[in-house]
């Protein structure tokens, strides 16, 4: 009898270990779905109320007519009729239990609306929105968005904030130069006659030798100085 009891205990132990191994394998499988560098596709509702696909990964947020690099994201927020509490709990479930932990939450009839504020090349802050009707993709999207940008909901990108003034100044200078009405030959030199001469030794020598003709040429080319 003692031998039979020991065998039963050993079998029970093996079964318990097998269950633990299976759970561990499942957890690893869930985590592999969130491997960095792999873009995840989400069926969403984009601006204008149209259905769209949103790709999130490889350092980018890609919408049908817009691509936002993670370094351009200034901040993001979550709203809509879906409760923030459910989303927050769902994110904790991803960390603790993996994706299956999200499925147990209800609220599948709620709407979840995400607004992403980003900075364009001109240094201007723009915004785009996308919505989900199911809390499962909303939770997963928020989790991956936080991981990619390093920003929590409502947090601002301080590094980007410091760059905005520089970007705006560069964009303003570019616009100013584009608006100048000088001849094409002077465009690379910001319509500056002096910079044009500095960069072209032969023209500079000619201008020094024939100043009156050079003055007339400068006027003809609509130089800014």
Task: Please give the angle made by the CA atoms of 71, 36 and 18, to the nearest 5 degrees.
Answer: 155
Altogether, the residues listed in the chain come to a count of 225
Cα–Cα dist 42/145, whole Å: 12
Measured between alpha carbons, how far is 128 from 47 in angstroms, rounded to an integer? Answer: 7
| pLDDT attached to residue 153 | 93
pLDDT digits (tens, 9 = 90+) for 25-52: 333 333 334 444 567 899 999 877 889 9
Mean pLDDT of the chain: 75
Q: Note the pLDDT tens digit of each residue in 83-132.
A: 444 444 444 433 433 443 333 334 444 589 999 999 988 788 899 999 99
Specify the pLDDT at position 86.
43
Identify the pLDDT of residue 92.
Answer: 41
């Amino acid at each position: 009898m003692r031998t039979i009891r020991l065998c039963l205990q050993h079998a029970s132990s093996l079964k318990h270990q097998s269950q633990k191994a299976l759970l561990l394998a499942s957890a690893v499988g869930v985590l592999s779905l969130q491997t960095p560098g792999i873009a995840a596709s989400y069926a969403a509702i984009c601006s204008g109320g149209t259905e769209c696909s949103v790709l999130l990964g490889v350092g980018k947020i890609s919408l049908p007519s817009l691509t936002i690099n993670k370094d351009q994201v200034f901040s993001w927020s979550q709203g809509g009729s879906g409760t923030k509490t459910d989303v927050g709990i769902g994110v904790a479930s991803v960390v603790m239990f993996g994706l299956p932990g999200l499925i147990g939450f209800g609220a599948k009839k709620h709407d979840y609306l995400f607004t992403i504020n980003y900075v364009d090349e001109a240094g201007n802050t723009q915004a785009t929105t996308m919505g989900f009707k199911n809390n499962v993709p909303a939770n997963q999207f928020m989790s991956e968005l936080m991981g990619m940008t390093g920003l929590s909901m409502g947090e601002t990108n301080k590094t980007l904030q410091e760059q905005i003034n520089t970007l705006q100044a560069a964009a303003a200078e570019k616009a100013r130069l584009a608006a100048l009405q000088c001849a094409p030959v002077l465009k690379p030199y910001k319509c500056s006659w002096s910079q044009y001469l500095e960069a072209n030794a032969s023209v500079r020598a000619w201008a020094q030798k024939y100043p009156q003709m050079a003055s007339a040429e400068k006027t003809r080319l609509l130089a800014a100085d």
